[in-house]
Amino acid sequence: MYNNLISRMEAVQSPIIPVVGELIKNSPGTISLGQGVVHYSPPPEAIEILPKFLNDATNHLYKAVVGIPQLLTALTTKLSTFNNIEINEENCIVVTAGSNMGFMNAILAITSLGDEIILNTPYYFNHEMAIKMAGCQPILVETDVNYQLLPEAIAQAITPKTRAVITISPNNPTGVVYSQTALQQVNEICRNHGIYHISDEAYEYFTYAGVKHISPGAFPDSSQHTISLFSLSKAYGFASWRIGYMVIPQHLLGAVKKVQDTILICPPVISQYAAVGALSATADYLTDHIRAIAQVRQVVLDALNELQDICTITPANGAFYFFLKVNTDMNDLELVKKLIQEYKVAVIPGNTFGMEKGCYLRVAYGALQQDAAKAGIERLVTGLKGLIINN
């Protein structure tokens, strides 16, 4: 009887990472260029601070919904110095269990059933999933041939049901970084229409070739309509610790606290202590690791350039992804399966990011050190040549 009961979850896509993970498990020796994580661990300061957590028995009790004071103070400083976002009477910080939770907090806080949220394609699949889980409708707006924003197209997609526009810069899955001009145009469109600009900045530190990260929350007169999402998962090797944070308009705090108190009560306090420690690490921690990833990026890019006859490789100066358009009629998931089974290299199919026309692959290079990344990308190049040219 219960199999006949249909919930809203029927409309939500299944996460692709576990699917690809199972294929990898069944093909031992596969090198994964799939999941978007870094290969390095948190800084020593994150671990060294943990005795302070253990020495205070009250830390085993619930703490403030929005985060512990020590972390809020550290984040206020970071936002000011790195993002040029000043915390004042118009906005506030809420610590979350990763930026995915921050996104869900935001969607539930600003929407009602049937509302619309604009996503730029290719989108981050968890964003699309969260919107549908909330009973809202994702409205897809294409980017240009280089996956850059098209502000006019975004403006044309706004209806009376629109509640927010989502931007991700540096971008997952494409790796592109949006210009200040484009982000400012989107932010002004949102302000003029009385909707929110949700800016996902999980990859804020990962920019290359002199490109600078831009936070829309730093634009003048943006505090009332901009929701900024951040994460320690990437830059600080904090994936399993589940600490992110959001900067929201003060008028949304009550709604966000309702969501977070219901789902989480408070972010894991031990992880918040670790975050305080991580944020106290010297600048060398970030610069050294990102420099190493930049070197891996160059190795990957040099190898991918061998595929120019069969792939479109879009310039990407951020995150740790390249997004390939493969010149084939083959289904992208079928291609991913063949790459794993026949060439022992894994990537992520583009249809999970909303790219239904054509064959697209996301290549991630942050999780591997240089030798492993070189071996993986060589397998990918060999595999694509073998599967596309020979078929």
**What are the structure tokens assigned to 350, written together?**
């583009």
pTM for the structure as a whole: 0.96
Rounded Cα distance between 33 and 67, Å, is 34
Q: Is 2-42+283-389's fold the same as 45-279's?
A: no
The distance of Cα 98 from the centroid of its chain, to the nearest Å, equals 10
Rounded Cα distance between 367 and 34, Å, is 9
DSSP output for 64-82? -TT--HHHHHHHHHHIIII
**What pLDDT score was predicted for residue 8?**
81
Burial class (CB in 10 A: 0-12, 13-18, 19+), 21: middle
Q: pLDDT tens digit string along 303-351?
A: 999 999 999 999 899 999 999 999 999 999 999 999 999 999 999 999 9
DSSP output for 122-186? SPPHHHHHHHHHTT-EEEEEE--TTS---HHHHHHH--TTEEEEEEESS-TTT-----HHHHHHH
Please state the rounded mean pLDDT for residues 134-153: 97
Q: Strands 162-168 and 137-142: what pairing?
A: unpaired
What are the angstrom distances between the C-alpha of 119 and each of 57, 187, 388?
A: 44, 14, 31
- Give me the percent of the chain exceeding a pLDDT of 90: 92
Domain over 2-42+283-389 is classified CATH 3.30.460.10: no
Name the average pLDDT for the chain.
95
Which single residue is written with the structure tokens 């949006």?
A: 178
Rounded Cα distance between 222 and 205, Å, is 22
**What pLDDT score was predicted for residue 346?**
96
Rounded Cα distance between 285 and 264, Å, is 30
**What pLDDT score was predicted for residue 6?**
67
**What pLDDT score was predicted for residue 94?**
98
Q: pLDDT tens digit string along 284-306?
A: 999 999 999 999 999 999 999 99
Rounded Cα distance between 99 and 275, Å, is 14
**What pLDDT score was predicted for residue 391?**
67
C-alpha angle 4-5-11 in degrees, rounded to nearest 5: 105
Please state the domain extents for the chain: 2-42+283-389, 45-279
* CB 244 within 8 Å of CB 330: no
Q: pLDDT tens digit string along 65-117?
A: 999 999 999 999 999 999 999 999 999 999 999 999 999 999 999 999 999 99
Least confident of 4-18, 90-104, 214-228, 363-377: 4-18
- Nearest alpha-carbon partner for 241 in 206, 204, 272, 286: 272
Task: Pick the more confident residue, 1 or 251.
Answer: 251
Rounded Cα distance between 336 and 318, Å, is 24
Rounded Cα distance between 211 and 171, Å, is 13
**Which CATH fold topology does 45-279 show?**
Aspartate Aminotransferase; domain 2 (3.40.640)
Three-class secondary structure of residue 187 per DSSP: helix
Q: Is the pLDDT at 1 greater than 60, yes or no? A: no
